[in-house]
Amino acid sequence: MTPSDIPAVGTNYRGTDKLITGIVLAVITFWLFAQTTLNIAPAMSADLKISQNLNNIAVSITALFSGIFIVIAGGLADRIGRMKMTYIGLGLSITGSFLIVISPSGTAVFLLAGRILQGLSAACIMPSTLALMQAYFDGKERQRALSFWSIGSWGGSGLSSLFGGLIASTVGWRWIFILSIIVAIVSYLLLRGTPESKVQQTQDKRTFDWTGLIAFVIAMVALNIVIGQGAGLGWLSPAVLTGTAIFIVAAIAFFRIETRGKNSFIDLALFNNKTFSGATLSNFLLNGAAGTQLVSLALVQEEAGLSSLQSGLMTAGYLVAILSTIRVGEKLLQKMGPRKPMLLGCFITGIGILLTCFTFLLAKEYIIVAFIGFTLFGIGLGFYATPSTDAAVSNVPGNKAGSASGIYKMASSLGAAFGVAISAAIFYGISKTNGTAPMADIFLGRTDNIYVRYAAAVGLLFNVFMVVVAIIAILITVPKSPIKTMIK
């Protein structure tokens, strides 16, 4: 029997606004609430009395675990049901947020455990909800639904800094995760009763690819530790060199297992589709630009004395821009296909991030320029979001929608995890060396923090580099003509 997608078991159910609302609320449990650590990390570190190294791990570990397990969760969603996996994700989100809320001072155990559960929650929710959009909506209605899904993810990430700063500066950072629990419960109530959607399975039962998964987990965790701890331990220290060797060996083993195995947990054959590959790679790189927020906001908090709320206000334009342009991206997709709006979005995003690199300015001037930069950042992502998502999930067979969605969102999570980790490593690593900044004469104002500002500029320029690579990837892979959907 050939696998086929079952849009609804025993019904002719079609998607509703209630379903869209429930899905968007499920999505923002990660993008709005879990992502607030990009801005409130200093407040959490001070309250919990944990080191900067542990604090950096807590920031990136959620996206890392989401990326590691998201493809598995996407495959499970296809097999056992997308609604069921969404419910599981909401339960993990509630549990993880609760552990963070009760985290005691002097230890990071509860915090790290809660952040890991939040990552696993996102792994369950993101591919499942994307596949639900594909199963229950068609044509322009699907594109509209994907736009709202994008508002939940990109818009949630845009609001996270401002929202986190507001809550942390008023009632305390723990209330962020109390509100996350409430939102997860409301999402469940809205989604309850939605018919199940899953893929009809063949009679042949295949064993799970545990060896591929183990190799992938070892490689990703080793790489994240090397990036995050390399500056502190020393890039040529035995620990870092050992971690690098472990990553290389595990990565080689992973690719050998996945290319030779018959039941790979990551379907590498999907990357034979150039459009899917280009959308996924550019998605990885643009999500990696999340490091822009970490470095820029940390700089103005540490060197300009801004509070988490004040620094969060720098990104207010990002929020307004992305929420107001996501639907514009949808319209551009319908008129032009995905390539042009994806390229336009990347170009505007790159210009915006470049403006945040102007750390040589006086503090007041930098805040204004960075505000403009974050606004352009949001406009660019708004143009890019829906065309990229549609190019990825609408160009694969329906019976692989969950797996394809999982890989696409794996790119989002791993991009954010490694982008933040690399940007933080560059910023904190260079700033601690106390060297002499090149072109020190161009830095205005204080002279005692020039090297820190230089380190921030280098960390931010890394994010510009990722956007440039994303543009090249789109030019090479995404066709000029509109893409004909393959989903039936």
Among 202, 230, 264, which residue terminates a domain?
Answer: 264
Among 223, 238, 264, which residue terminates a domain?
Answer: 264
Instruction: State the pLDDT at residue 204.
Output: 55
Q: Same domain, yes or no, for 323 and 306? A: yes
The pLDDT tens digits of the residues spanning 185-243 come to 999 999 998 888 887 665 556 677 788 889 988 998 888 888 877 777 777 889 889 99
> Does 252 score more than 90 pLDDT?
yes
Q: Same domain, yes or no, for 386 and 445? A: yes
Instruction: State the pLDDT at residue 399.
Output: 64
Instruction: State the pLDDT at residue 12.
Output: 65
Q: Same domain, yes or no, for 155 and 144? A: yes
Of the chain, the percentage scoring pLDDT greater than 90 comes to: 36
| Domain presence at residue 168 | yes
Q: Same domain, yes or no, for 281 and 257? A: no
In sequence order, what are the beta bridge partners of 6?
198
Contacts of 279 (CB under 8 A, 6+ apart): 338, 342, 388, 389, 391, 392, 408, 477, 478
Q: Which one is predicted more confidently, 263 or 470?
A: 470
**Locus of tokens 């004469």:** 441
Q: Same domain, yes or no, for 189 and 283? A: yes
Instruction: State the pLDDT at residue 201.
Output: 63
| Domain presence at residue 1 | no
| Domain presence at residue 199 | no
| Domain presence at residue 334 | yes
pLDDT range class, residue 401, cuts 50, 70, 90: low
- At residue 437's C-alpha, the angle toward residues 433 and 443, to 5°, is 130
> Does 183 score more than 80 pLDDT?
yes
Instruction: State the pLDDT at residue 146.
Output: 81
State the virtual CA torsion across 427, 432, 435, 439 in degrees, nearest 10: 30
pLDDT range class, residue 353, cuts 50, 70, 90: very high
Instruction: State the pLDDT at residue 42.
Output: 79
Instruction: State the pLDDT at residue 115.
Output: 94
Give which of 320, 455, 301 is closest to 378, Cα–Cα: 320
> Does 276 score more than 50 pLDDT?
yes
Q: Which one is predicted more confidently, 272 or 188?
A: 188
DSSP 441-474: GG--S-STTHHHHHHHHHHHHHHHHHHHHHHHHH
| Domain presence at residue 185 | yes
* Maximum average pLDDT range among 84-98, 161-175, 283-297: 84-98
> Does 156 score more than 90 pLDDT?
no
* Maximum average pLDDT range among 95-99, 262-266, 483-487: 95-99
Q: Same domain, yes or no, for 386 and 339? A: yes
Instruction: State the pLDDT at residue 202.
Output: 59
| Domain presence at residue 406 | yes
Q: Same domain, yes or no, for 188 and 215? A: no
* Strand ranges inside 27-155, DSSP E: none
Q: Which domain holds residue 284?
A: 12-193+265-477
Q: Same domain, yes or no, for 237 and 123? A: no
Instruction: State the pLDDT at residue 10.
Output: 40
Q: Say how far apart CA 466 and CA 421 lie, in whole Å.
A: 14
| Number of structural domains in the chain | 2
| Domain presence at residue 242 | yes
Q: Same domain, yes or no, for 259 and 271? A: no
**Locus of tokens 């594909």:** 134
| Domain presence at residue 219 | yes
pLDDT range class, residue 487, cuts 50, 70, 90: very low
The pLDDT tens digits of the residues spanning 328-346 come to 888 898 888 889 999 999 9
Give which of 318, 198, 207, 223 is closest to 263, Cα–Cα: 207
> Does 283 score more than 70 pLDDT?
yes
Q: Same domain, yes or no, for 97 and 222? A: no
Instruction: State the pLDDT at residue 9.
Output: 44
H or E element: which one contains 431?
Answer: helix 401-431
Q: Say how far apart CA 219 and CA 111 lie, in whole Å.
A: 23
Q: What is the CATH number of the domain that holds 456?
A: 1.20.1250.20
The three-state secondary structure class of 9 is: coil
Q: Same domain, yes or no, for 323 and 285? A: yes
Q: Say how far apart CA 332 and CA 213 lie, in whole Å.
A: 38
Mean pLDDT over each residue of the chain, to the nearest integer: 85
Polymer length in residues for the chain: 488
The pLDDT tens digits of the residues spanning 2-40 come to 334 444 444 567 768 899 999 999 999 998 999 888 888
Distances (CA, A) of 296 to 366, 397, 445, 458, 480: 10, 41, 18, 11, 35
Instruction: State the pLDDT at residue 208.
Output: 72
Instruction: State the pLDDT at residue 79.
Output: 82
Q: Same domain, yes or no, for 382 and 418? A: yes
CA-based radius of gyration for the chain: 22
Of the chain, the percentage scoring pLDDT greater than 70 comes to: 92
Q: Are 23 and 156 in contact (CB under 8 A)?
A: no
* Strand ranges inside 130-226, DSSP E: 198-200
The pLDDT tens digits of the residues spanning 53-91 come to 777 788 888 988 988 888 788 778 888 899 999 999 999
Report which DSSP code applies to 6.
E
Q: Are 286 and 353 in contact (CB under 8 A)?
A: no
For the chain, the distance separating the N- and C-terminal CA atoms, rounded to the nearest angstrom, is 18
